[in-house]
């Protein structure tokens, strides 16, 4: 197959559009809150722009780095070791709202769980590439493949961050499916995971309250149902055309986290169905071009890497939008490229650089 002269221009363009759109929406959704809390409407968007610029520089640099250089134990295992240290390091930091998800040093905040997703993808791509014909070996292949991802997932659950843990678990399962793992292993995994998930959802008081609020948010409209109801009000108020950029009302101290977890609700309110469809359409194009690169690649490592990177972004976007639309219970998970979050946008853009480099090999 002939080598592409340049990267996939469609994918590159979609990523740029998502980042620029995200900066606009972060400013729109956070300006009033930032002014009230910090005395400047630009507090959040400036930091997001700094991280976005660094992420774009990382993406541009990694576009030029041959992805095969990552197919090396001297890259994979140091990345695993560093991620492990960072995931353990969060527990040495002071918690915020009862959670230990961030490492704060010299005024910079990092979220190691964001790094765990691409490292899981990298590890599985490296491990599975040579075991495609050994997927019926549960001890030598399946068990060894899932050990590290499950360890990361356990640490992320401990933070606690169920949303990110579920994204990691879904990506792991899809990559195993791509490698040819037999259905019985997924059935066994579901049987083992079910009681753990049941305990996490129904035997942790605040999660149980969220589940009950998901079923009937109007039972406690000022308490556990507040997030869902305010999000649905924002989505419904937008209608077809929306109220106009910067004209949203729910972000005025009604909708919780309007610039992070619920930024898609602000998009729906201000830009309406048109804006929502535009965002979904951009993710669809990104998914199509990313999966196209994966399935057209003749290199198993590239196939797994491209597939894992693409599905991680799509699954996270699906979870975020589903929470905003009350299709899933409320969980703290951001919308890739668009939500405020420095670590998320930087790492996601860096991953896009690797994916774009892979597209150089595709006709």
CB 278 within 8 A of CB 271: yes
What CA–CA distance (Å, rounded) separates 348 from 39? 30
* Lowest mean pLDDT, pick from 91-95, 151-155, 181-185, 322-326: 91-95
For 110, phi then psi, to 5°, come to -120, 145
Q: Which helix (H) or strand (E) holds 290?
A: helix 263-296
Our measurement of the distance from residue 86's CA atom to the centroid of its chain's CA atoms, rounded to an integer in Å, reads: 18
Sign of the CA dihedral with 287 first, then 289, 294, and 296 last: positive
CB 346 within 8 A of CB 55: yes
Average pLDDT, the chain: 93
Determine, yes or no, domain membership for 244.
yes
DSSP structural state of residue 224: T
Sign of the CA dihedral with 169 first, then 174, 179, and 181 last: positive
Determine, yes or no, domain membership for 3.
no
Q: What is the pTM of this model?
A: 0.94
Determine, yes or no, domain membership for 177.
yes
Determine, yes or no, domain membership for 2.
no
Q: Which helix (H) or strand (E) holds 77?
A: helix 73-89
Determine, yes or no, domain membership for 26.
yes
Is the peptide bond prior to 160 cis by the omega test (within 30 degrees of 0)? yes
What CA–CA distance (Å, rounded) separates 271 from 275? 5
What CA–CA distance (Å, rounded) separates 273 from 196? 37
pLDDT tens digits, one per residue of 72-83: 999 999 999 999
Determine, yes or no, domain membership for 1.
no
**Closest CA relative to residue 269, chosen from 240, 232, 243, 230:** 243
Determine, yes or no, domain membership for 62.
yes
Q: How far, in Å, are 24, 94, 151, 315 from residue 168 at the CA level?
A: 29, 25, 11, 9
pLDDT band, very low/low/confident/very high, at 256 (cuts 50, 70, 90): confident
Determine, yes or no, domain membership for 4.
no
CB 224 within 8 A of CB 210: yes
3 state SS of 110:
strand
Strands (E), 222-272: none
Number of structural domains found in the chain = 1
pLDDT band, very low/low/confident/very high, at 210 (cuts 50, 70, 90): confident
> What count of Cα atoms within 13 Å lies in the side-chain half-sphere of residue 245?
10
Q: Which domain holds residue 173?
A: 9-359
pLDDT band, very low/low/confident/very high, at 4 (cuts 50, 70, 90): low
């Amino acid at each position: 197959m002939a080598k592409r002269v340049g990267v996939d221009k469609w994918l590159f363009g979609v990523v740029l559009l998502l980042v620029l759109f995200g900066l606009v929406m972060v400013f729109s959704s956070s300006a009033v809150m930032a002014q009230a809390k910090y005395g400047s409407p630009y507090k959040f968007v400036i930091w997001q722009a700094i991280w976005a610029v660094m992420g774009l520089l990382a993406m541009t640099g990694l576009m030029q780095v041959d992805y095969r250089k990552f197919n090396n134990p001297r890259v994979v295992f140091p990345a695993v070791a560093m991620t492990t240290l960072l995931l353990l390091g969060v527990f040495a930091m002071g918690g915020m709202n009862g959670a230990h998800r961030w490492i704060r040093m010299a005024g910079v905040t990092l979220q190691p769980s964001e790094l765990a997703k691409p490292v899981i993808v990298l590890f599985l791509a490296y491990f599975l590439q040579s075991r495609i014909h050994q997927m019926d070996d549960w001890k030598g292949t399946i068990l060894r493949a899932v050990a590290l991802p499950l360890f990361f997932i356990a640490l992320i659950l401990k933070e606690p961050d169920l949303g990110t843990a579920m994204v990691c678990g879904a990506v792991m399962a899809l990559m195993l499916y791509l490698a040819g793992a037999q259905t019985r292993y997924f059935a066994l995994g579901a049987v083992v995971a079910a009681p753990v998930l049941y305990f996490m959802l129904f035997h942790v008081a605040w999660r149980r309250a969220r589940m009950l609020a998901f079923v009937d948010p109007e039972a406690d409209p000022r308490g556990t149902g507040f997030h869902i109801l305010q999000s649905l009000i924002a989505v419904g108020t937008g209608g077809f055309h929306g109220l106009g950029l910067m004209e949203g009302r729910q972000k005025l101290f009604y909708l919780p986290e309007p610039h992070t977890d619920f930024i898609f609700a602000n998009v729906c309110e201000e830009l309406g169905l048109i804006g929502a469809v535009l965002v979904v359409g951009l993710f669809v194009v990104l998914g199509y071009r990313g999966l196209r690169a994966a399935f057209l690649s003749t290199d198993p490592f590239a196939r797994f890497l491209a597939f894992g990177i693409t599905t991680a972004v799509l699954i996270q976007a699906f979870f975020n939008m589903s929470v905003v639309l009350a299709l899933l219970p409320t969980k703290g998970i951001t919308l890739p490229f668009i939500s405020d979050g420095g670590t998320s946008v930087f790492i996601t853009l860096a991953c896009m650089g690797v994916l774009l480099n892979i597209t150089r090999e595709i006709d």
